């Protein structure tokens, strides 16, 4: 699921390197950390299954982003999660830089 969140940015067309350099310039020493996760296991995965992680934003707030995720095997949904990721710097929550906020809201129905 972590890889799914990372790939979500890439699939939206973001140059993660450039985007994170800009965020680093605005907020040196920043990091995203998982603040909370609600996870429902619906069906088991098996060794050698080919799994797809589908990720979409639910909400972008001051210092956090909430994402929904599903783990799928073909048409079967194996697990569902809602993940809240916090933006921190020096161990404290900080407002998400505008460049990241705009990108993360890009595919929300009421985006920027």
Q: What is the CATH number of the domain that holds 40?
A: 3.10.129.10
User: What's the structural domain count of the chain?
Assistant: 1
Q: Which of 48-52, 68-72, 78-82, 89-93 has the lowest mean pLDDT?
A: 89-93
Go through 37-76 and write b for each residue having 16 or more CB atoms within 10 A of its CB, e for each that does not: eeeeeeeeeeeeeeeebebebeebeeebbebebbbbeeee
1-45, pLDDT tens digit by residue? 878 877 776 676 655 566 667 767 777 777 788 999 999 999 999
Residue 112 lies in a domain: no
Torsion of CA 106, 101, 12, 111, to 10 degrees: -10
pTM for this prediction? 0.75
Residue 111 lies in a domain: no
Domain that holds residue 37: 2-105
**In sequence order, what are the residues at sequence separation of 6 or more whose Cβ sits closer than 8 angstroms to the Cβ of residue 103?**
9, 12, 14, 19
79-112, pLDDT tens digit by residue? 999 999 998 888 888 888 777 777 776 556 654 4
Alpha-helical segments (H) within the chain: 2-11, 16-26, 98-105
What pLDDT score was predicted for residue 112?
41
Let me know: does 90 contact 29? Beta carbons within 8 Å. Answer: yes
């Amino acid at each position: 699921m972590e890889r799914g969140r990372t790939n979500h940015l890439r699939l939206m067309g973001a140059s993660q390197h450039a985007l994170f350099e800009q965020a680093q310039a605005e907020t040196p020493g920043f990091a995203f950390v998982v603040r909370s996760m609600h996870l429902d296991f619906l069906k088991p995965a098996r060794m050698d299954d080919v799994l797809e992680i589908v990720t979409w934003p639910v909400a972008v707030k001051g210092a956090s982003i909430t994402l929904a995720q599903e783990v799928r095997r073909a048409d079967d949904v194996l697990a569902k999660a809602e993940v809240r990721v916090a933006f921190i710097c020096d161990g404290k929550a900080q407002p998400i830089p505008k460049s990241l906020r705009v990108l993360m809201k890009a595919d929300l129905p009421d985006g920027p």
